[in-house]
Amino acid sequence: MNQRYLCIQLFVLLIFTGSPAQNETGEGTLYARIDNYLLAGSQNGFSGAIAVVEKGKTIINKGYGMANQDTKTHNNPNTVFDIGSNTKQLTSTAILKLVELGKLNLNDPLSTFFKQLPKDKQNITIHQLLTHTAGFTEAIGNDFEQIPTHQFFEKIFATQLLFEPGTKYSYSNVGYSILGRIIELVSGQSYEGFLNEYLFAPAGMKHTGYLLPKWDTVQLSRSYNRGILEAKSPVLSYQEKGDISWHLKANGGINSTQNEMLLWYKALKNNKIISNESFNKLTTPYADYPSGRLSYAYGWTVRILENNLKRIAHNGSNGAYSHSLIWFPEEDIFITYATNANSSEVEFLAYDIAKIILDKNYVPNPIKDNVYSFAYNYMKTKPADSSNELISLLKENYTDELSSSRLLNSLGNLLLRMHDNQEWALELFELNVQKYPGDGNLWDSLGDGYMANNRKEDAVKSYKEAIALGFDSSQEKLNELLKN
């Protein structure tokens, strides 16, 4: 590695982590409790990074596991992760910046920005979009599906609203895409261009975005969904396409680092980007979740915990990456967490870190190997006729995961996506159908399993059974099969 580059990296790292003299690192300290917990977890597949700041002091800022297993690159504070739906707070902050600039008002209706809207969409406000109370559906397509701008918004505005705007809460990615388009229409800039000029530059953030940053390719993390399904950094996909699909833009998919997220926190805290009044609007609870446990602000969730402790937080995930930001403003505790090997075992790990910080007696359950990785590692070394032994092991170690048809179906479909162990995929689908014979979705998966194993006649029977059970999506597959 170039010596000058190494010195710069070490300098940046020291700025954010502090030297051992600045951080207590002895056994039993907060640093040690967090570090020991994650180090142990990394032995069971945990891969990611954590940073914690308390009252201006960096408690920990460290990576665990591999950013890239092929190149043996370790995760670190400058590793680039997909932050998922934490993109939404960037969008909401940009909207508040436009309010400060006198470009729009939070109660402006959609008809101010879009012409020839259906009547039921005309009076939806920016505030309702920000709080997921506009009534739009969650999504209308795949994140990476390319679609012309006019076609995307025509499709959105042609959809049926889930409820009368302002009366309920329902999380909507497309609602934030609409906000992203409003930012473009009002500012005359691209969505990313506006964020870069008015949010990232004032905060000192140079490695956050889609296409504009000068990405260090060494720091781009690969993803390892559930520890087994590998994929390249989404940044490389953006660069190949040269654009960001509106299915993703402004609601998710921005990439960043732990050090950048610390800059983001400091910029918000010190009102470098928006005023204190705007920050209060950003983090005021407006809409209650159906469960009643959380309220939604603007790109943040808000919850009042025990002892009247206010927590603002948000999570983002695309299945492979997961990202969390947690902030206790009165205590001035901020946590930023990312993983490039997401699973149910580690998706919300940041909340355990928060408990460690707030309660010196709290001991979280150890991070264990996720069920998919556990099963996959078994299947790599055993033939498909060992399925009874696998089921016994799963019952012994992951009883709750076997309480529905989801696990075996997901495992089988993962194998199909990986083009790996097709015999095992078919075995899992057959076991699932035997246990849940009335589920058309499982018969559809079984048909896919037969196709992967070149058993066309059995696939036809399975798809027909799926259709008979009301799973209409099998019809297209069946038609294609019968044509050939």
Give the pLDDT score at 16: 39
Please report which confidence band the pLDDT of residue 325 belongs to, taking 50, 70 and 90 as the band edges. very high
CA distances from 323 to 82, 138, 173, 338 (A): 7, 19, 16, 4
Asked whether residue 7 carries a pLDDT value surpassing 80, the answer given is: no
Asked whether residue 410 carries a pLDDT value surpassing 70, the answer given is: yes
- Rounded to the nearest 10 degrees, the angle between the axes of helix 406-418 and helix 422-435 is 160
What is the distance between the terminal CA atoms of the chain, rounded to a whole angstrom? Answer: 55
Asked whether residue 23 carries a pLDDT value surpassing 90, the answer given is: no
CA distance 463 to 476: 10
Domain boundaries, the chain: 82-358, 371-483
Length of the chain: 484
Q: 82-358 and 371-483: same fold?
A: no
Please report which confidence band the pLDDT of residue 75 belongs to, taking 50, 70 and 90 as the band edges. very high
Residue 221 is given by DSSP the state: P
Looking at residues 333-358, what average pLDDT do you find? 97
Q: Which CATH superfamily is domain 371-483 in?
A: Tetratricopeptide repeat domain (1.25.40.10)
Residue range 243-292, pLDDT digits in tens: 999 999 999 999 999 999 999 999 999 999 999 999 999 999 999 888 77
Give the pLDDT score at 173: 98
Give the pLDDT score at 6: 37
For the whole model, what pTM was predicted? Answer: 0.89
Q: Which of 300, 15, 258, 372 has the alpha carbon at shortest distance from 132? A: 300
Residue range 147-177, pLDDT digits in tens: 999 999 999 999 999 999 999 999 999 999 9
Name the CATH topology of 82-358.
Beta-lactamase (3.40.710)
Q: What is the DSSP string of 234-273?
A: HHHHHHHHTS--TTTTTTS--EE-HHHHHHHHHHHHTTSS
CA distance 227 to 361: 31
Please report which confidence band the pLDDT of residue 18 belongs to, taking 50, 70 and 90 as the band edges. very low
